[in-house]
Structures are given as C-alpha cells and as structure tokens.
Amino acid sequence: MKWVRTFAWFAIAAQFVFVAAWIVAGALENGYSALDHHVSELGADGAANPAIMNVAIVALGLGIAALAPALLRVLPRRRAAQVAAGLFLLSGLAIVVSGLFNADCSSAVDATCQDRWDAWDVDTSAKIHAWSSLVAQGLFLATPFALARALWNRPVAAPTLACGVAGVVLSVGLTVLFGIHHAPDGLTQRLGLGLLHTWVVLVAIGILWEARRQPEPPAATPMRPRDFFGSSWSGEGELVPWPYFFWRRFPQRLEIQRDATFLTDEAWYFDDTARRTDGTVVHKRRVFCTLEGPDRVRVMSDPLLDGTEILLEEDGYRIVPYRVAIPVGPVHFGLTVRDSATVDDGTLVNRLKIRWFGLPVARVELRARPATCSPASSEQRAP
C-alpha cells in the first residue's frame, strides 16, 4: 500500500504547486491581476513566464489522474468504483492536455485578446485548451456522485453525495457570475479552482486513511484460551474520557459481568453487562464467537462493525483491533478500539484505548476474575 499513499501525497502536493505557480507567475507578469485575469493567461503566448504556469497545469492534471489507481486499490470492488477512478483519470488527462496546448494571447498584455476570444478568433491550440478545460470540468463534477455510489453502504456516502450536489450548485453559480459584464473573472475562476483543490485534497486524505498502516495486534495475553473462553467473569472497571488529565479525577466506575454459554464445541456466546455502582445498567450486549480454525476465533456482535478476530496461541491470545458503533442521540459514531490484557495474580486486567479517526476518545480498564467454571468443563468446551 506504500505506492497508494505516495500517489495520494502527490495529488495533494500538486494542488499546492499549482497555487504557488500562479502566485509566482502572476507577480512576475506586468499588468496582470488575479482578480480580473484567468490563470491560463499566465501560460499564453506573449506571457513573461509561460512555462511556469503550463508545467503547473500539467502537474495539476497528473495529480488528479494519480487518484485513479489509488482509488481502485482502496474502494470496494464494484463497477461504480471503476467509474469513479475513470472519471478522475480522464479529467486529469484533460487538464494535462489543456496545459500542453496553451492559449495564444493574454488580455494582460494584449488589449484585443478578449475580443478575439469572444469572436472565437483564436488558433487551434487555444481552442483545444478551451475545450479540454471544459471537458475536464464536466468529468470532475461527476466524481463525487460516482464515489458516493461506490461507497453507498458506508456512512461517508451521504456526505460525499452532498459534496457532489454542492459542487454542481456552486459551479452553476460561478458560471452565471462569469456571464456578468465587468465581473471579476479572475476571482470567479479561482473560487472554482478552490472547490477543485478542496475536493482533491479530501479524496486524497480519504485514500491515505484507508491505506494507513494497520496497527500490530497487542501483546499476547498470558492466559490459555480455554481458561478465558470457558469461564464466566465478574469484576470492576473504570472509564476515563479524554482529556485524561481532567477526567481521571472523575472516572466512571463500573461493575462488570460476563457469562459464557456454549452452543457447540465450535460456537458459543458471552452476555456482557456493565453497571454503575448504583446498579444502573449502562451497557449490555451479546457477543457471538465461532471457532474458525485451530488458531482463530471469529467474534460478532451488534455494536461491532464488521466484527473482529481473536488469534489463539499456545500460551495466550491476541484480540485484533476492532470498530464499534456508539450512539450519541440519533447519530452513531464508529470508534476504533485496541484491546490488550495482562494477568495479575489471577486477575485479568483488560485495557481498552478508544479512538475516533485517530483522535483519543476514552480509555477503559477492567479487572475481572473467573466466576463459576469447573476445570473439566473448560477442557471439554473451550478450544
């Protein structure tokens, strides 16, 4: 996945290169105004430093096109993902073409240039530049809708679709503004380019998130799996929200209970209950476990997004980091949990670190001891 991250970073860098190019080239161009003149005029024939702008336009197009293979690697395998990648590729290539075929005049240095554009009396290179820019804009506006369809079963699909609708509405508004006489065309174009840059950066950040290095499983808990899975547990714990330096003075103390019920030798479930010290139940769930192999247990539960796995070893077990859905009013947030445990004089000490998109949310420490379970039943039932 290293190349995927490289492509995403290149797409982000290309946006900053493009902005820096029109700032530098505009400062070196006599009579040029960012409020009144188009960006492409800095790369037109007769401009002071056309190479700066044209190379930046090509880099911008390559950066957008670079998102295509990266998206194919991280998006779900479905036709909409291919369409989304294709739209980014084609729009990026269209921008590259517009950078290779520059305009033949600039209104900053040629007073008749705008009249020639209005009469469409420009050379072939300028016409190719104009048409390729228009095609790139149309293709690019379609990318959020294809991405939303590719991500339709994920929470991010709705915001992606909203971005697409907002992009179309704003683009229509900017197009209308272009048609107003004496409107600041340069500013209008840069507002549109700002939307483009923002969307590219957001998509690249999403790719970086999906292609992030997965954390290693926590250190193995030094307890035989059959001793853990074949037992019911009870104990106490505390939850400390972030920021820890403040809330650790006011932890939420809990009483916990886990009851194991075996359906077969390969399938069982836990009933987990957490109560406040006053007896109020704050958490209750049923966790289903199936033995997928001699070294692996599959774990599923309503709050778990996509479930998780427990890796069994000779002298211990590891819980793969997992995601849970936590309701806050009508909204559910997907949080990532890293679960590690140690054994202290027969007491299982379970530590959970809870994060949201890498940001700390809370940490939990649970201390539990086996309740009622005979060694014989553990040997017979547990893996």
pLDDT of residue 223: 61
pLDDT of residue 222: 67
pLDDT of residue 230: 65
Q: How confident is the model at residue 218 (pLDDT cuts 50, 70, 90)?
A: low
pLDDT of residue 376: 35
In a domain, residue 219? The reply is no
Distance, in Å, from the CA atom of 121 to the CA atom of 127, rounded to the nearest integer, reads: 9
pLDDT of residue 288: 93
Crossing angle of helices 79-100 and 50-74, in 10° steps, is 170
pLDDT in tens, 52-75: 999 999 999 999 999 999 999 999
pLDDT of residue 228: 67
Asked if 365 and 238 sit in the same domain, the reply is yes
Asked if 244 and 358 sit in the same domain, the reply is yes
By residue range, what is the domain housing residue 186? 2-210
Q: How confident is the model at residue 254 (pLDDT cuts 50, 70, 90)?
A: very high
pLDDT in tens, 303-334: 888 889 888 887 778 888 888 888 877 777 88
Does residue 383 have a pLDDT over 50? no
In a domain, residue 274? The reply is yes
CB 210 within 8 A of CB 74: yes
Distance, in Å, from the CA atom of 320 to the CA atom of 340, rounded to the nearest integer, reads: 9
Asked if 189 and 274 sit in the same domain, the reply is no
pLDDT of residue 244: 92
Question: Which residues, including other chains, have CB under 8 Å from residue 267's CB and lie 6 or more apart?
Answer: 288, 289, 290, 291
Query: What CATH number should be reported for the domain holding residue 235?
Result: 2.40.128.20
pLDDT in tens, 77-119: 889 999 999 999 999 999 999 999 988 888 877 778 888 888 8
Domain endpoint, select from 159, 187, 210 = 210
- List Cα–Cα distances, 209 to 206, 355, 367, in angstroms: 5, 14, 33
- Token pair 């505390």: residue: 238
Asked if 154 and 268 sit in the same domain, the reply is no
CA dihedral 83, 85, 91, 96 (to 10 degrees): -150
Asked if 356 and 257 sit in the same domain, the reply is yes
Does residue 136 have a pLDDT over 90? yes
pLDDT of residue 347: 87
Asked if 335 and 203 sit in the same domain, the reply is no
As a whole-number percent, the residues of the chain with pLDDT over 70 amount to: 92
pLDDT of residue 219: 67
Domains held by the chain: number: 2
Asked if 193 and 235 sit in the same domain, the reply is no
Q: How confident is the model at residue 2 (pLDDT cuts 50, 70, 90)?
A: confident
Asked if 63 and 186 sit in the same domain, the reply is yes
Closest by CA position to 37, among listed 99, 89, 96, 114: 114
Q: Over the chain, what is the mean pLDDT?
A: 87
User: Rounded mean pLDDT of 194-214?
Assistant: 91
Asked if 336 and 376 sit in the same domain, the reply is yes
Asked if 156 and 275 sit in the same domain, the reply is no
Asked if 39 and 82 sit in the same domain, the reply is yes
pLDDT of residue 265: 82
Domain endpoint, select from 210, 234, 261 = 210
Residue type, 51: A
Does residue 263 have a pLDDT over 50? yes
Does residue 31 have a pLDDT over 60? yes
- Token pair 């499983």: residue: 217
pLDDT of residue 327: 80
User: Rounded mean pLDDT of 280-288?
Assistant: 89
- Bridge partners of residue 324, in order along the sequence: 304, 335
Asked if 244 and 291 sit in the same domain, the reply is yes
